[in-house]
Amino acid sequence: MTDRPTGEHVLFEEVAHAYDQLPVEFFGSVGERLVRLAAVRSGDRVLDVGCGRGAVTVPAARAAGPTGSVLGIDLSPSMAEETGRLAQRSGLAWARTQVMDGQAPKLAPAVFDAVAGSMSVHMLDDLPAAYRAYRTLLRPGGRLGLAAPATDVAAGPGGHARVLGLRTIADMARTYTTGSGVYPNSESFGGQARLYADLSRCGFTDVQLMVENAFIRAGSAYDVVRWTWTHGMRRLWERIESPHRAALEERIAVEIAADHVVDGQVVIPVPVLYATAVRPEE
């Protein structure tokens, strides 16, 4: 299944049945934006690293069209299986999935026109090793695209940190996390300066970094609360003793209702870091 079992592998296998399946929009919009930034076009061969439930796989397959191909890889067999089924139901026969380690994909070199990883690559143990692997997999002139949560700008001096756009979750992360990877305790990819330097050292050129808001959209605050249990934040919840969880869930819901309801719908801005780079022509 994989040569590198990890805690993330176990986590995402646990949540695969519910991941991105609740009436909450976020991962899909980030994936679609990344596909556009990576300039996926008709005929492209695309690798989606950490495909989850298809947030990049599906829009990349639509952009590549039947003359192209998309391979989504994930450490979770259930994630890969469900995304493969989704691609088939969506009529995207040129998209397929495979259980594989995103840090060291065992694939032929110089095959792909684009390698993309949305909300996945930043969790790998050895980022430079992953970047070198992606450069090898890209054909000369191929594009790399990455997306991950950005440290909230409100976390600066005099500001208040937010995680998933919410102060309550940032407070929880500070109080309860011990290496869970939940922000604001660490920056994606070690920070923008490190990401730029690492990609450059690994042989990429035209490295572009940008932060822009994506939006969590839902019908109710309680939909968002339930959604926080269905992705990486689940590990944070598991570190909190059961008697305290209900009160924290209520605090999240109250903050959302007070600050993030627009015309009866929940809309929460979340800063996302996007990175693109190119394997130079040789």
Q: Give the Cα separation of 25 and 60 in Å (integer).
A: 18
Query: DSSP per residue over 130-157, as a string?
Result: HHHHHHHHEEEEEEEEEEEEPPPGGGST
The whole-chain average pLDDT of the chain stands at: 91
Unique residue bearing structure tokens 């176990």: 10
Q: Decide: 150 and 272 in contact? Cβ < 8 Å.
A: yes
CA distances 222 to 40, 143, 236, 251, 257, Å, are: 36, 39, 18, 11, 9
What element of type H or E holds 281?
none
Quote the pLDDT of residue 156.
Answer: 52
Q: What is the pLDDT of residues 70-115, one digit of tens each?
A: 999 999 999 999 999 999 999 999 999 999 999 999 999 999 999 9
Quote the pLDDT of residue 3.
Answer: 46
Cα angle, residue 49 at apex, residues 48 and 55 outer, rounded to 5°: 55
- Percent of the chain surpassing pLDDT 90: 77
Quote the pLDDT of residue 175.
Answer: 85
Does residue 187 have a pLDDT over 70? yes
Does residue 27 have a pLDDT over 50? yes
Q: Give the Cα separation of 136 and 244 in Å (integer).
A: 47
- Judged by average pLDDT, the poorest of 91-100, 168-177, 196-205 is 168-177
CB count within 10 Å of CB 125 equals 10
CB count within 10 Å of CB 119 equals 23
Q: What is the pLDDT of residues 39-58, one digit of tens each?
A: 999 999 999 999 999 999 99
Q: What is the pLDDT of residues 157-166, one digit of tens each?
A: 556 788 999 9
Quote the pLDDT of residue 178.
Answer: 52
| Single pTM value for the model | 0.92
Does residue 155 have a pLDDT over 80? no
Q: Is 77 exposed, middle or buried (0-12, 13-18, 19+ CB in 10 A)?
A: middle
Q: What is the pLDDT of residues 219-244, one digit of tens each?
A: 999 999 999 999 988 888 988 999 99
pLDDT category, 282, cuts 50, 70, 90?
confident
Quote the pLDDT of residue 225.
Answer: 97
